[in-house]
Amino acid sequence: MKNKYNKTTAGLSAQVFVAKATAYTDDATYQAFVANAVDGEMGVFLVYDASGPTTYAESVAATNAADAALQANDKFFIAQMSVFTDTNGKVSREVKRTPTFTYSEFVVRQVAYSAPVKQVTNFGYGSLSTTTGDLNSGTLTTGQIFAFGFKETTPGNQPYPTWNYEETAKAGDSLIAIGARLLKQVNDPDSPQNYYNGKLVDLELLVGGGTFVASSGGAATVTNGSTTVTIVESAGAAADAGEFNADASAMAAGMYLRIGGTTTASPIYKIASVSGVGGATAIIELETPYTGASGSVAAANLLVNTVVPTAIGFKATAIDFGAHFRVTLSEDMENADIVYTTGYKEGKGTSTQVAGLEEEGHVFSGYTTLNAAFTEDYGKPISYTVAGTTYNLIFLDYYRTMKSVAAPKIQDGHYGHIIIAAPVGVAPATAFDGMFV
């Protein structure tokens, strides 16, 4: 189990509103909003603008076009409706709202969603390392030791855990066989190295040299995390001449399948068993799970080797977004090349991040039983973050001018902030973008 401790200052006087994928309120007044708003609906309400105080707080959307974007001296508040039914069938309505603020007291930051990126590192010997991570130790001899490891360097994970793997060359061995054994160690969640800390990376085996041949027709279905490759003949009933190397015996246990492309950048997998080749459907079982994207692979990008490759390399991809690591090499791999192909990117506005912000906002609002035993007896607030949804973020940093205690001068005091997370591409994201500028 990973031992991670994270700390954040995001909870500094933070009110958090996660917009539901429903229209921004068109109710003309706050009173109408309280009476009519649906679950998750949000509104921004004016109590004072250029025309003076309003008789009733009016929705920004219901005012004239000049007020579509909040002005410096506008006084406003934000509200969100929650509608819920208890175990007795009673429907309750509750409004979460901010105090009334003057818009000029805020510094506004709009942060558009950006996708997180996982770290990718290739390593091995030779010229292929700059693109694929080639490992070629020269003449392979019995007793050579191929060893590498990973050290996670993700903040909050100190002391940094390490994963170490090695294989020794046996009589009659080949580089590709050694690579396949190392691959199995890294990708097996139950291997001794992965048993305590869990897996850090998915490893792919890349090769240079050798000969790989594609079939002339048919398609395969692959699933991330599965060892099963399902192949359907293009004719639908039986194998046509040329499909899958034209000869069913060309695909057999112990051979290697390149999936997803024809270059050295595409990974290979050792075949554990083959059944049904030559019929309408063939099943290939791999020794290790497929690590690429699920989907269909055309025959041109599904190749089997006919000549054993002469060079191997590895591509390591972090399993978790935000995790990063260093590669360590030793023994006969000590002088191998390491190419940090793709750096990790944390990203902004993922559902995981927004869920964390929303929970902190609940605590700031007074719901302190979220981490207590028997939380259901105390009740808990409604959360609107949807797993897998991406969000644009608006940060309203609140400052108020005040007299300093230490000296008779005016200074700005930072009191906290309001965070609005609006789902990308659906209402009410557009409305908020136009109001807070």
Is the same domain home to 307 and 398?
no
CA distance 215 to 184: 27
pTM of the model: 0.72
Strands (E), 242-367: 256-259, 268-275, 281-286, 295-298, 302-307, 311-318, 325-331, 337-342
Taking residues 283-310, what's their average pLDDT? Answer: 84
Burial of 7 (0-12, 13-18, 19+ CB in 10 A): exposed
Residue that is last in its domain, among 316, 342, 368: 342
Domain assignment present for residue 8? The answer is: no
pLDDT higher than 80, residue 150: yes
pLDDT score for 249: 46
Is the same domain home to 171 and 305?
yes
Structure tokens at 28: 């003309």
Taking residues 166-175, what's their average pLDDT? Answer: 89
User: 135 falls in which pLDDT band (50, 70, 90)?
Assistant: low
CA distance 422 to 335: 50
User: 248 falls in which pLDDT band (50, 70, 90)?
Assistant: very low
Is the same domain home to 353 and 233?
no
Domain assignment present for residue 394? The answer is: yes
pLDDT higher than 70, residue 373: no
pLDDT score for 219: 77
C-beta of residue 193 within 8 angstroms of C-beta of residue 164: yes
Question: Which of the pair, 214 or 166, is modelled with greater confidence?
Answer: 166
Is the same domain home to 185 and 306?
yes
Is the same domain home to 92 and 133?
no
Is the same domain home to 80 and 134?
no
Is the same domain home to 329 and 388?
no
Domain assignment present for residue 2? The answer is: no
Domain assignment present for residue 6? The answer is: no
Lowest model confidence (mean pLDDT) among 79-83, 260-264, 267-271: 260-264
Question: Which of the pair, 202 or 124, is modelled with greater confidence?
Answer: 202
Residue 307 belongs to domain spanning: 120-342
Is the same domain home to 296 and 183?
yes
Is the same domain home to 385 and 267?
no
Using CA atoms, how far residue 158 sits from 5, 162, 192, 276, in Å, is 9, 11, 21, 50
Is the same domain home to 66 and 165?
no
Is the same domain home to 315 and 361?
no
**Domains contained in the chain, number:** 2
pLDDT score for 260: 86
Residue that is last in its domain, among 320, 342, 364: 342
Residue that is last in its domain, among 315, 342, 369: 342
Is the same domain home to 333 and 231?
yes
User: 413 falls in which pLDDT band (50, 70, 90)?
Assistant: low
Burial of 353 (0-12, 13-18, 19+ CB in 10 A): buried
Domain assignment present for residue 265? The answer is: yes
DSSP 28-43: SBHHHHHHHPPTT-EE
Structure tokens at 263: 């270059």
